[in-house]
Structure 1
C-alpha cells in the first residue's frame, strides 16, 4: 500500500471522489500542512491506495480534473491546490504528472507537489460526510457535480460498489 495527499477543494468533496475509486483502500479527511509558506494547514485528504490497482498518475489525473486546478481564487488558503508527497521519488512523479497533464487544460495548472508535513484528522461526525447521507443539500449541490465529472471521465476507475450510486445521479 502507498499513500498520497490531495488538496484543492473542500475535504468532503475530495474524500467522496477518492473513496469512489477502485484501488483506494482508505481516505483520511482533515487538514494537511507542508513547509514554508504552506505551513498553515488547509483542507485535504490522505489517500491510501494499492498501486497494483490504481496508479499515482491516475490519482493525480482524477485530482486535477475534479477541482479548480487552474484557479487562484480567494479561498486558496483554505483549499490549497496541492499533491502532498511522502518521499522524493513520489514528489518527482507528481511534478512530472502535473507537467504532462497541462495539455488537458487551457489555463496554467496552479497545483503544486509539496512535501507532506503534518495531518490533523477531522472530527468523527464529519468523516465519510458524503456517503453517510448523500441527500444533504451540500452533497446534492456541491459534491454530486464533482462525482458526475468523475463518472463521465473516469468510469473505468470507479469502485464497483459505488458505480450504481453514481449512475443514479
Structure 2
C-alpha cells in the first residue's frame, strides 16, 4: 500500500470523528479519511455499522509522508488519544465498532505496533490494566459517507465535539506542539 513517498496507516480507536481530528494537523499527514474496516459486509453504511452486526470498526485511514512523520509517532498519538484498555468501547461509545485496533499495511508496521504495545505493557503505562488493542492485517477500507469527513472541523460547536473532542485536542496540541503543522 505504498505509493511513492506516502504510506498508509489505519487505526480504530473509538468514534472516527475523534480520531480523525487528532491526526489532521500533524506534520507529514497528507490526508485523513474516516471509514470502516474489519467487517464482513461490503460497502457498509454508518447506520449498518452502528448496529454492531457488520463486524466493522469505525476507523481512520491516514496518508502520510514517512520522511516527515514516523509510523511510531502516529502510534504514539494513537495511544495518547484513546483508552486502549477498554474492550469495545471508548467513553460512552459502546460496541465492537468502537474497538481499539491497528490495521497494519506492511510487515514493518505490524512489528512496530507489537513493539509499541510491548513497551506500553513493560513500562506499566496503564497501571496494571491490559492493553486490549488488536493488531490485524488491513482488509478493505471503506470510506464513510461524506458528512463524516472532516467532521470536527465542520461541527466543532456541536455538543459532542465540545465535550469529547475539544478537550482531547487541546491536550494533544499542548503535549505534541512540535509535531503539529504551523
Q: Verify same fold: TM over 0.5.
A: yes
Structure 1 unaligned segments of length 5 or more: list them.
161-169
Q: How many residues are treated as equivalent by the alignment?
A: 157
Q: Per-residue deviation at 1:153?
A: 2.2
TM-score by length of 2: 0.80
1:99 equivalent in alignment to 2:99: no
> Residues of 2 paired with 1:121 and 1:83: CA distance?
17
CA distance, structure 1, for counterparts of residue 170 and residue 95 of structure 2: 23
Equivalent positions of 1:32-51 (< 5 A) are 32-33=37-38, 40-51=55-66
User: 1-side partners of 2:171 and 2:162: how far apart?
Assistant: 14
1:82 to 1:154, Cα distance in 2 relative to 1, 3 A: same
SS in 1 for 2:96: coil
| Residues 148-163 of structure 1 aligned to structure 2 (within 5 Å) | 148-160=170-182
The answer to whether the aligner puts 1:117 opposite 2:132 as a matched pair is: no
Partner secondary structure for residue 97 of structure 2: coil
Query: Is the 1:61–1:101 Cα contact (8 Å) retained in structure 2?
Result: no
Cα shift readout 1:30-56 (whole Å, capped 9, x = no counterpart): 111179xxx821100011111111111
For structure 2, list consecutive stretches of 5 or more residues without a partner in the other structure: 1-5, 41-53
- Contact 1:34 1:114 (8 Å CA) reproduced: no
| 1:105 Cα offset (Å) | 2.4
Secondary structure at the aligned position of 2:67 is classed as coil
Q: Which has the higher helix share?
A: 1
Aligned counterpart in structure 2 of residue 82 of structure 1, from 101, 125, 129? 101
Aligned to 2:18, which of 6, 13, 17? 13
RMSD of Structure 2 on Structure 1 (CA): 1.8
Residues 139-162 of structure 1 deviation map (CA, whole Å, 9 limit, x = unaligned): 1111112202212321211221xx
| 8 A contact 2:36–2:143 mirrored in 1 | yes
State the 1:101 CA deviation: 2.7
